[in-house]
Structure 1
Amino acid sequence: MKKVLLTIAAILTLGLGNVLAEENHTNSVRTIKSPRFARPLVEKWIEEYAKTEPGVTFQIAKGQGESDLSVAIADQQEKTQDLFSHWIYIGETAVLPITARSSEAARLLEGKHLNAKKLKQLFFLNDDFEEDVKRNKAFEAITIYSGSNATSVAGSFAHNFGEESTNFRGKRIAGDDLFLNTAIAKDPLGVSFNTLSNIFDLQSRRLKSDLSLVGLDLKKDVAVSFSDKGSLDEVLTILETEKPAEVTVGKVAITYNGTDEAVSRFLQWVLENGTKYNHQYGLLNLNQKELSAQASYVH
């Protein structure tokens, strides 16, 4: 009898343990690592998803520790492959060259409409056009500021022009790319680049009041939209139909390990519902065919 009672007790204990483990897993927190340019969008996902799945909590990861998911620009995926074996694309981010409004750099570049070749000469060290830079006094006077953080768009910007991020002229800035705005605000001759969500005010949809866009060699019918008079929504609309060589556009991915059912459900929701907030937070949409295809990749 004693043995029977002990057996029953063991079974009940094991069963209760399984229930508690399952309950803890269902209510456990999942963390998302995100660069600053995408963080407002990710926070919106978290807020809206909580209304549909209150039993699972997602939150922004703090510090440099591990996370369940990570948002990255596509060409940064290889940096996270040791931790994450899967990824899906949820949109695109665009990067534009900037300087501080009414600065000396803005004056030197005023009226210039730079094509891809001129942008390479302005931003990068390269023996092939070193003499061209020396002949261009405006370029020679300007100081370039680029990001050195692992999540910086510096790599994407460089690759768009066939360069490596180690080839930037000027100074490298540690930390989030938002610090690039601060750097050029302090240097009258500073020029940099940043994502749309870091250079446009997401509420007014206009360029931030302390920034100015570097003029690009674009078609007349779109040039105004890429000037200080343009709006974020105009730029997004144009870049979803055409991709000028002068503008860096990179896919934004969510990377994850593919073994968590709660994470998979969240990703399915993002693809079906979360991407409708892309424009609101400064990201381009994927075309519908490409977006639909991403659902089949979720594990």
Structure 2
Amino acid sequence: MKAIKILLLAAGLLFSFRPAAFSQGQSSSKVIITGVRFAYPLVDKWIKEYTAKNPEVEIVIETRTITDPEKYDLLIEAFEHEKEVKETREYVSIARYALLPIANAKSAFAREYADKGFNEKTYKQIFFHDIYAEKDKSVTAPFTIYTRLQKAGAPLTFARYFGYEQQQIKGKTIAGADEHLIKALLKDETGITYTIPGLAYDLNTRKPAEGITIIPVDLDGNGRVSKDEKSLENLDQVLDRLESEKVSNVPVEYLHFSIAKNNSNPEAKKFLLWVAAHSGEDLRKFGYLKPESKRLQTEKQKLERFSVVK
């Protein structure tokens, strides 16, 4: 009899704890982010800072593969969506990214074009036309272009800047993320590609990443590359110039977060508003340009008025 009483008491204690445990599980919030992979290091820093102050919130990055995860709250993207998609989401343009031409530092191509540089004609000739098939003798150093296989922000931005579409970029197409273009280039002494400053430079030393030569371009559009335009050894100086001047031959596009207008996670909106208020502190460190302040402020105000429903 005594044993039965002890069992009943234990059972009662067990059930008395269940509501509290269930309530705790319900009160915790999870925000799932996915999208362009080159932005993950920057986004990860924001997540750590935000959750340090808001430990009750769990924010995770679900890595994009060929497609986005089945469920997510926030999408970070590096190209403008189609009109139909934009009508269903609220956007916050938190940064701008530039695209620079790079080559394997061991290549004859790198040695030649680190001096010559690219103007608009050179870009089009190399990246969008088979100059060997056309028997064009102006480019003599061997090269192998590496570009993205899947539709993505960087190749779309790069191609459209010069009046083309992504599928018109010549060369070897690589599955995966922008980082995989860098890996392919480093394995091939003839390799060339285009990439963001955050991948072209070592973010700690602010110098070009090991094994990479950044090709100078005709920034003022006068048809030639000056000595000043060849000064690419310091990332911060490059970013200064891109932010302070209207430059040519450098594709620049917005990096933006978006959240669905319907059935959205309130915690995702809170995090997005925090990012909009604090993102400017970290952009330079990771190789990004600041967004146009008026655009960011307008989008932030729209998001503040936007009522989410979970």
TM-score after normalising by structure 1: 0.82
Secondary structure of 2:82's counterpart equals helix
TM-superposed deviation, 1:157: 0.4
TM-superposed deviation, 1:20: 5.6
* Residue correspondence of structure 1 range 68-83 to structure 2 within 5 A: 68-75=73-80, 77-78=81-82, 81=85
Taking only aligned residues, the RMSD between alpha carbons, in angstroms, comes to: 2.8
**Distance of aligned partners of 1:62 and 1:122 in 2 relative to their CA distance in 1, 3 Å threshold:** closer
Mean alpha-carbon deviation: is it higher for 157-166 or for 97-106? 97-106
Structure 2: any 5+ residue segments left out of the alignment? 1-17, 221-225
Instruction: State the match for 1:92 in structure 2.
Output: 96
**Distance of aligned partners of 1:212 and 1:295 in 2 relative to their CA distance in 1, 3 Å threshold:** same
Cα separation, 1, equivalents of 2:45 and 2:144: 36
Cα separation, 2, equivalents of 1:281 and 1:69: 20
Cα separation, 1, equivalents of 2:156 and 2:50: 32
**Distance of aligned partners of 1:297 and 1:148 in 2 relative to their CA distance in 1, 3 Å threshold:** farther
How many residues are treated as equivalent by the alignment? 275
**Distance of aligned partners of 1:218 and 1:85 in 2 relative to their CA distance in 1, 3 Å threshold:** closer
Of residues 238, 241, 245, the one that matches 1:238 is 241
Secondary structure of 2:103's counterpart equals strand
Instruction: State the match for 2:292 in structure 1.
Output: 287
Of residues 214, 223, 240, the one that matches 2:229 is 223
Cα deviations by residue, 1:254-292 (Å, 9 ceiling, x for unpaired): 122133221111111001113311111111111332222
Report if the CA contact (8 A) 2:29-2:267 is conserved. no
TM-superposed deviation, 1:113: 2.3
Q: Find out whether 1:271 has 2:276 as its counterpart.
A: yes
**Distance of aligned partners of 1:278 and 1:176 in 2 relative to their CA distance in 1, 3 Å threshold:** same
Cα separation, 1, equivalents of 2:254 and 2:266: 25
Question: Once the two structures are aligned, what percentage of the paired residues are identical?
Answer: 29
Instruction: State the match for 1:144 in structure 2.
Output: 145
TM-superposed deviation, 1:73: 0.9
Q: Find out whether 1:111 has 2:119 as its counterpart.
A: no
Q: Find out whether 1:165 has 2:166 as its counterpart.
A: yes
Q: Which amino acid aligns with 1:50?
A: T
**Distance of aligned partners of 1:288 and 1:281 in 2 relative to their CA distance in 1, 3 Å threshold:** same
Cα deviations by residue, 1:199-257 (Å, 9 ceiling, x for unpaired): 111111111021001231235474143x3x2x111111111122422111110011221
Report if the CA contact (8 A) 1:146-1:180 is conserved. yes
